[in-house]
Amino acid sequence: MSIPQSGGGPIERPEQLAEYLADGCKPPEDWRIGTEHEKFGYCRDTLRPLPYDGPRSIRAVLEGLQQRFGWDPIFEGDNIIGLQKDGANVSLEPGGQLELSGAPLETIHQTCDEVNEHLREVREVADRIGVGFIGLGAAPIWHHEDMPVMPKGRYRLMTDYMDRVGTLGKTMMYRTCTVQVNLDFSSEADMVKKLRVALALQPVATALFANSPFIDGAPNGHKSWRSRVWRDLDASRTGMLPFVFEEGMGFQRYVDYALDVPMYFVYRDGRYIDALGQSFRDFLKGRLPALPGEVPTLSDWADHLTTIFPEARIKKFIEMRGADGGPWRRLCALPAFWVGLTYDQGALDAAWDLVKGWDAETREELRVAASVHALDARVGRIDMHALARDVLAIAEEGLKARARPGAGGLIPDETHFLAALKDSVETGKVPADELLEHYRTDWAGDLSRIYAEYSY
């Protein structure tokens, strides 16, 4: 989750809210790729999650990265809660999941190099203190009461609120991980088309990256439990956003939606002020109970946008949110998948042609079926396995058309980053299928084996 936003002055006109989003428009030559991924840390001898403090802890990892690799620390009070360097940052999820939010980069070659360098640094620090990190969509063994709580005011407020609006919000916060990619748009029309494609095809990403078949030490009946969790978190701020597909969709329509999402907090002078359930519309009028008489800044608006969690969301870019955290190769495959679909106009048009006839019910049914069955899902006449094959072929053509070389020109384009997904389409098996097969055969139900065999 996001660190506090900064740099925005007072909001004096309501039009500034949509203008803030529109300021993200960039010409195609300036489009960038920002990859984010989360991972669980644990003590290698006990297989317990990392506490915040102590010799083997999240703090120790952050301080190790700071001291050994020149990252600049980010503090909340006296607690180090993140790092930043060269346009990237490392932050903490509520249960200690370590997240890299990568710098905006030009090619997938670069973003994959960044991921690899980050994991190498984390591994070097972790090895010195007996710690491991693993990429999964959900913690397979740990119960909620096992999870540490990171010292961030934002998370304390959110934790208290979650049980008021759903049943699985705290599971999302403390026991799930994702891999995401942030992508640019050139205009309002381009944003709308990309967001529609992103939402409609997010279930395909959920299926291909499904990697959370266990919770509380046993199979949970879903191949992506992480995706299931998001369906019972808070209906006011999650979901497939049917309005995006309606006539009149644009920046202002998204603003209207965001203004209807209840607030979590306001950040002032290094602390989070409780605004749970309050209205940003009231804030604009100077009537926020948490800060009576005060009007918001653009930084407050940027913070509020980070508390909205649909399957794809807009800030000054589009964030693809449907995939489980996973193994090394798939951290590079996700940006390749979405860049291929959206950064070439021919591919984007082909993707839209594929989904434009679906109604809201179909899109939601695909979302549910993907979380349960992954590539084995079927919705009406739509076979997820066949759909994934078609979508992947479009993405591959999009990457070929981009023709961004790597390795000093020895690699002609970025298509090889799709290899892990092509393997899944060929075999019909996603990471969750592999994990379940191990669980039922050579692991003989011993889920502790997952740490040694699947850690980075």
Q: What is the fold, at CATH topology level, of the domain defined by 15-454?
A: Creatine Kinase; Chain A, domain 2 (3.30.590)
Contact 141, 217 (CB under 8 A): yes
| Residues ≥6 apart with Cβ < 8 Å to 104 | 32, 33, 34, 87, 182
Place of tokens 């740099």: 7
- What is the token pair recorded at 218? 């046993």
Mean pLDDT over residues 193-222, rounded?
Answer: 98
Contact 403, 343 (CB under 8 A): no
| pLDDT digit string, tens, across residues 344-391 | 999 999 999 999 999 999 999 999 999 999 999 999 999 999 999 999
Q: Domain locations in the chain?
A: 15-454
Q: Give me the pLDDT at residue 9, please.
A: 85
Q: What percentage of residues in the chain have a pLDDT greater than 90?
A: 97
With vertex at residue 229, the alpha carbon angle to CA 226 and CA 232, rounded to the nearest 5 degrees, is 160
Instruction: Give the global pTM.
Output: 0.97
Mean pLDDT over residues 25-41, rounded?
Answer: 98
Q: Give, to the nearest 10 degrees, the angle between helix 419-427 and helix 328-342.
A: 90
| Residue whose C-alpha is closest to residue 154's, from 142, 163, 162 | 162
pLDDT beyond 60 at 1? no
pLDDT higher for 363 or 6? 363
Contact 306, 1 (CB under 8 A): yes
pLDDT band per the 50, 70, 90 thresholds, residue 2: low
Mean pLDDT over residues 183-210, rounded?
Answer: 98
Helix (H) or strand (E) holding 273: strand 271-274
pLDDT band per the 50, 70, 90 thresholds, residue 67: very high
